[in-house]
Structure 1
Amino acid sequence: MANERKTEAIVRSHFDKYKLSIEVEEQISDNFKINKLLKTASKKATGKGFPEFIISYKETSDLIIVIECKHDISKHESLHHDKYDKYAVDGALLYATYLSKDFDVIAIAVSGDSHKNLKISHYLHLKNEKKAVEIFGNILLTPEDYLNGYLKSPDKFRQDYNALLEFTKKLNEKLHTYKILESQRSLLISCILISLENEGFKRSYQSHKIPKNLANLLVNTVSNELESANILGKKLENLNIQFGFIKTDTSLSTKANVLKELIDEIDANINQFIKTHEYFDVLGQLYIEFLRYANSDKGLGIVLTPPHITDFFAELAQVNKNSIAFDNCTGTGGFLISAMKKMIEDAKGDEQKIKQIKSTQLIGIEYQAHIFALAVSNMYIHQDGKTNIINGSCFDDEIIEQVKDRSPTVGFLNPPYKADKKTDTDELEFILNNLECLITGGTCIAIVPMQSALSQSGKVYELKKKLLEKHTLEAVLSMPNELFSNSNVAVVSCIMIFTAHKPHSEYKETYFGYYKDDGFVKRKSLGRIDAYGRWDSVKKHWLATYLNRKSEAGLSANKVVSANDEWCAEAYMDTDFSKISEDDFIKEIKKYVAFNILN
Structure 2
Amino acid sequence: MSKKEVQTDLWVYEMLKQAAIPFDAQGSSVKEISEALKTASKKGTGNTGFPEYTCVVKDYLLVIEDKADLSKHVKRDDSSNISKEITAITDYAVNGAVFYGKHLAEHTSYKKVIAIGISGNQKKHLISPVYIDETEYYRELPVLESLISFNEANIDEYYTREILKEETRFEKETADILKDARILHEALRNHGTLLDTQKPLIVSGILLALRESEYKNFSIRDLTGDLIKTDGQKIYDAINANLKRANVAPEVKKDKILSQFSFIQDNVKLNEIDNQLKKTPLKYFAEYLDKTIYQSIRYTNSAEDYIGRFYGEFMSYSGGDGQTLGIILTPKHITELFCDLANLNSSDVVFDPCCGTAGFLIAALPNMLKHAENEAQKKHIRQKQLHGIELQPNMFTIATTNMILRGDGKSNLINDDFLKQNATKLQLKQATVGMMNPPYSQGSKQNPHLYELAFVEHLLDSLVTGARCIVIVPQSSMTGKTKEEKSIKKNILKHHTLEGVITLNKDTFYGVGVMPCIAIFTAGEPHDAEKLCKFINFENDGYKIAPHIGLIETESAKDKKQHLLDVWFDCMEAETKFCVKTTIEATDEWLHSFYYFNDEIPCEEAFIKTIGDYLTFEFSMVMQGREYLFQEDAHAKIK
Q: Normalising by structure 1, report the TM-score.
A: 0.70
Post-superposition offset of 1:278: 2.4
Offset of residue 175 of structure 1: 1.5
Match of 2:235 in 1: 218
Aligned to 1:361: 385
Q: Is the aligned partner of 1:564 residue 2:611?
A: no
Rg (Cα) greater in structure = 2
Tell me if structure 2 keeps the 8 A contact 1:125–1:132.
Answer: no
- Correspondence 1:268 to 2:291: yes
Report deviation, 1:480: 1.0
Residue 248 in structure 1 maps to residue 248 in structure 2? no
- Give the deviation of 1:279 after TM superposition: 3.2
The answer as to whether partners of 1:464 and 1:563 remain within 8 angstroms in 2 is yes
- The verdict on how the C-alpha distance between 1:318 and 1:206 changes in structure 2, with shifts beyond 3 A counting, is same
The structure-2 alpha-carbon separation of the partners of 1:465 and 1:566, relative to structure 1 and needing over 3 Å to count, comes to same
Q: Deviations over 1:335-381 (max 9, x none)?
A: 11111121111115x11111000000001111111110011001001
Displacement of 1:427: 0.8
Q: Which moved more, 1:386-395 or 1:493-502?
A: 386-395
Deviation at 1:211, TM superposition (A): 5.5
Kindly indicate whether the alpha-carbon contact (under 8 Å) linking 1:456 and 1:563 is maintained by their aligned counterparts in 2: no
- Distance change (3 Å), C-alpha of 1:228 and 1:502: same
Per the alignment, do residues 81 and 554 of structure 1 end up closer, same or farther by CA in structure 2, a change over 3 Å counting? closer
Structure 2 contact 162–555 (Cα < 8 Å) conserved: no
Match of residue 79 from structure 2: none
Q: Residue 223 of structure 2 contacts residue 234 of structure 2 at CA under 8 Å; is this kept in 1?
A: no
Per the TM alignment, residue 157 of structure 1 is displaced from its structure 2 partner at its CA by: 3.0
| Residue 414 (structure 2) aligns with | 390
TM superposition shift of 1:295: 3.5
- Residue of structure 1 equivalent to 2:103: none
The 5-angstrom pairing of residues 383-422 of structure 1 reads 383-384=407-408, 386-397=410-421, 400-419=423-442, 421-422=444-445
2:109 corresponds in structure 1 to: 75
Rounded Cα–Cα distance in structure 1 between residues aligned with 2:488 and 2:155: 53
**Residue 377 of structure 1 contacts residue 386 of structure 1 at CA under 8 Å; is this kept in 2?**
no
Indicate if the aligned counterparts of 2:389 and 2:414 stay in contact, CA closer than 8 A: yes
- Structure 2: which amino acid aligns with 1:414? N
Overall identity of the aligned pairs, in %: 30
TM superposition shift of 1:550: 3.5
Matched, 1:343 2:368: yes
Q: Hey, what does 2:9 align to over in structure 1?
A: none
Distance 1:163 1:508, change over 3 A: same
In 2, the alpha carbon distance for the partners of 1:439 and 1:227 equals 32
Q: Does 1:206 align with 2:221?
A: yes
Shift of 1:475: 0.5
Match of 1:235 in 2: 253
- CA drift of 1:385 comes to 5.4
- Post-superposition Cα deviations, 1:406-438, rounded to whole Å, max 9, x if no partner, equal 211000001101245234411111111111111
* Secondary structure of 1:558's aligned partner: strand
2:370 aligned with 1:370, yes or no? no
Match of 1:346, SS state, is coil
**Cα distance change on mapping 1:192 and 1:579 into 2, 3 Å:** farther
- Asked whether the 8 Å contact 1:124–1:133 carries over to 2, the reply is no
Aligned counterpart, 1:176: 189
Task: Deviation per CA, 1:45-85: give whole Å up to 9, x if none.
Answer: xxxxxxxxxxxxxxxxxxxxxxxxxxx9933437577669x
CA distance in 1, matches of 2:341, 2:575: 18
Say which of 153, 157, 172 aligns to 1:159. Answer: 172
Task: For 1:252, give the aligned amino acid.
Answer: L
Q: TM-score, normalised by structure 2?
A: 0.66
Q: CA RMSD in A?
A: 3.2
Distance verdict in 2 for CA 1:534–1:74, change over 3 Å: closer
Check conservation: 1:362, 1:385, Cα contact below 8 A. Answer: no
Structure 1 stretch 435-444 or stretch 74-83: which is displaced more? 74-83
Seen in structure 2, the aligned counterparts of structure 1 residues 565 and 76 have a Cα distance that, compared at 3 Å, is: closer
C-alpha separation in 1, matches of 2:478 and 2:254: 40
SS at match of 1:376: helix
Q: Which amino acid aligns with 1:219?
A: Y
Q: 1:75 to 1:528 in 2, by over 3 A?
A: closer
Q: CA deviation at 1:296?
A: 2.1
- Equivalent residue for 1:482? 507
Shift of 1:395: 2.6
Deviates more, 1:173-182 or 1:564-573: 173-182
**Are 1:287 and 2:307 counterparts?**
no
Go from structure 1 to structure 2 and tell me whether the alpha carbon gap of 1:326 and 1:579 turns closer, same or farther (over 3 Å shift).
Answer: farther
**Structure 1 residues 130 and 327: CA distance shift in structure 2, 3 A:** closer
Q: Which range moves more in the overlay, 386-395 or 430-439?
A: 386-395
Q: Is 1:513 the equivalent of 2:536?
A: yes
Question: Partner of 2:419: helix, strand, or coil?
Answer: coil
Q: 1:77 is matched by which residue type in structure 2? A: K
Task: Read off the aligned partner of 2:500 and give its amino acid letter.
Answer: A
Which residues of 2 match residues 38-117 of structure 1 at below 5 A?
74-77=108-111
Give the conservation status (yes or no) of the 8 Å contact 1:415–1:430: yes
2:559 is aligned to 537
Give the length in aligned residue pairs: 454
Q: Which residue of 2 aligns with 1:43?
A: none
Structure 2 stretches lacking a partner, 5+ long: 1-105, 114-130, 136-151, 610-639
Q: CA deviation at 1:302?
A: 0.6
Map 1:574-593 to 2 at 5 A: 574-575=597-598
Looking at structure 1, the residues matched to 591 and 391 of structure 2 have their Cα atoms a distance apart, in angstroms, of: 30
Q: Which residue in 2 is equivalent to 1:312?
A: 337
Q: Which deviates the most, 416-425 or 305-314?
A: 416-425
- The code of the aligned residue for 1:229 comes to A
| 1:19-42 deviations in Å (ceiling 9; x for gaps) | xxxxxxxxxxxxxxxxxxxxxxxx
CA distance in 1, matches of 2:573, 2:243: 48
Match of 1:7 in 2: none
- Aligned equivalent of 2:82: none
Counterpart position of 2:34 = none
Please state whether the residue corresponding to 2:404 is helix, strand or coil: helix
CA distance in structure 2 between the aligned counterparts of 1:324 and 1:364, rounded to whole angstroms: 11
Given candidates 404, 428, 435, the residue that maps to 1:380 is 404
- Distance in 1 (CA, whole Å) between partners of 2:489 and 2:256 is 37
Q: Which moved more, 1:470-479 or 1:243-252?
A: 243-252
Note closer, same or farther for the CA distance 1:502–1:124 as it changes in structure 2 (3 Å cut). Answer: closer
- Mapped partners of 2:334, 2:173: distance in 1: 19
Q: Does structure 2 retain, via aligned residues, the 8 Å contact 1:196–1:202?
A: no
Match of 1:444 among 469, 485, 493: 469
Cα distance between partner residues in 2 of 1:261 and 1:546 = 49
- On the 8 A contact 1:358/1:383 being kept in 2, the answer is yes
Deviation at 1:176, TM superposition (A): 2.0
Contact preservation (8 Å) 1:408, 1:438: yes
Instruction: Tell me if 1:433 matches 2:458.
Output: yes
Change (3 A) 1:160 1:121: closer
User: What is the Cα deviation at residue 403 of structure 1?
Assistant: 2.8
Shift in Å, 1:311:
0.6
Q: Does the CA-based 8 Å contact 1:428-1:452 persist in structure 2?
A: yes
CA distance in 1, matches of 2:323, 2:223: 38
Say if 1:576 and 1:247 are closer, same or farther in 2 by CA, change over 3 A: farther
The one-letter code of the counterpart of 1:356 is H
Closer, same or farther: CA 209–385 of 1 in aligned 2, 3 Å = closer
SS of residue paired to 2:197? helix
Structure-2 separation of matches of 1:311 and 1:121 = 16
Check the 8 A contact 1:340/1:358 in 2, yes or no.
yes
Partners of 2:435 and 2:244 lie apart in 1 by 28
Contact 2:437 2:473 in 1 (8 A): yes
Structure 1 pair 167–211 and aligned structure 2 pair: CA distance change class (3 A):
farther
- In the alignment, what sits opposite 1:50? none
Task: Verify the 8 A CA contact 2:433 2:467 in the aligned structure 1.
Answer: yes
Residue segments in structure 1 that go unaligned for 5+ positions in a row: 1-71, 85-119, 135-153, 586-599
Q: Could you say if the C-alpha distance between residues 245 and 570 of structure 1 is closer, same or farther in structure 2, counting changes exceeding 3 Å?
A: same
Given that 2:197 and 2:320 are in contact with CA atoms closer than 8 Å, whether structure 1 keeps it comes out as no
